[in-house]
Structure 1
């Protein structure tokens, strides 16, 4: 059934563009109507009319601000079907529609062309291509504004998407954060710019001292060696990052890094870490050393300033750990494995910042966490 015209009009006037159009139309008429009165009163007191005129002009400018393009939002749900929460996807779509002139929703079905399950790297490549195409289309229409991402994904998918996006060189690319705290549900997380590659500023060092418990000044953790690691695997370095309340992940990650086994040795329950999606119990080679970075609080303050400071620090902390381990083993052939639990914008930013490095992230599947060993 077709919606009546008056309801369509009311719906339009409730939007940002509709309100801007209404303000321009009404107050342009007021401003133009005041001009003849100002001319008539030129030799009398014109301050009253001048005030009305200036107020009307300012409101017309406000209407133009509301009407002008506000960039494009891209909503990307990358969680597996059985883990996707439709309410969170809907929240992201509402936030994008509120903040931007247009929204691209990447339907998960688009990521399974012909029903084929893509590899994580191919999926990230397809998503990045869709984002780039939409951004080019938006810019070619003459509109101005940035590209903003509303991503729902596991750590590995966010990390891989960040690595892939580095090649597209968007002028401004902001990754939003879905907050679990009261208040605004979707907040700016990290803006991917070259500024993230700079060493932490004095202000950022102060923030890092609070959220990561670092001493005064910027300091980086030294690699902790695994004496039992075979010589042929010593070149691997585990970079373990915990920025959420999941404190148990550190012990699990260290165990997997030391042994290469995805099940805990004492009870054979699964750690959730997976080296091969098709064979979740497949073990891998161990690492020669590990580095741990942990948040000092259960939850990081959910501000863009904190997220960007942490992302900047992680990039330099990893580089320092890599350089130290290169010196220790006397070789530049260091391969890094990342074990990470963190707010999505920080994970994606770390992938973006290490796009061309020999670094990979170990997938963590919460569906496998604590699963008992299969019966022989």
Structure 2
């Protein structure tokens, strides 16, 4: 590891907590330790702090404070959206999603299929996005819910959420539209008034906030069944003691992210584009899976043909560079990325993928180090691969 300093380019997996976020959280681990639900002074202090964070987030999402429900993160939010709708409407209904969603959408859909729910998994374009017309054509008489991610976590592809929502409502205004916006907040407008979504999931730790806290926006009037029972917190949708320090950090992280978003985008896109251009020059036989003009500025997903992705990851790790072979939530799986397979990457090539995701703290010096060690890693692995055509 160079100078004992880790170079982190895996910001789609998680982000470091911004020091300003940590600063506002710290008092609520110590002297301000009250339970949000308690009626005494310490409880009221926690209550007002949480509600203050809720107001900040609601302002940035352009929704009512009552429509922001705190959860443990996007996985819980996604599960609540899918299972909560089906719990209210019963079986024999139809859900639409895409083949490239996060596992926190795909796996609940598989569970619901076993309970009699019909699920359509839509194909995507070569760039990883779904065509609104394809969504519209998949709608049936019994369709009750459509769930489409805003930004793909592996490719960075941006889905036309507003247009998809318009296509859905034009076909049947009673169909609910859920969006997993976990990867979008750093880079895109997530105001629900502009997107036309009925539900939306967001996670704090993707926007330089703490882990273990997120939210689901639920449009007023939509009824969901809770997926866990207890003390009736969060309007009965999410029972359990509220994570007061986490929620306060989440609110601060959201505020910083929105206010500094444009500046961060300009910085990150310069780093990412320089990286992509240099990799194309210095490493032969590569496939860039991210379509740059259809994606957020942070992502660069490559296949280094002939070099197994996990081995590249481990080599870079030794050199002090943190990357990913795909979704961090599926890192224990030996299967090739379902996202890459969905966009037509052959299985044997998909195993050679590496996802680089840049963040606001990355520097030119760090980029230079990556460009120094990456070609060495790929060449060494290719030289050891008897099946790789070195000619």
Q: Scaled by the length of structure 2, what TM-score is found?
A: 0.28
Bigger RCO (CA 8 Å, 6+ sep) = 2
Bigger Rg, which one: 1
Q: Scaled by the length of structure 1, what TM-score is found?
A: 0.29
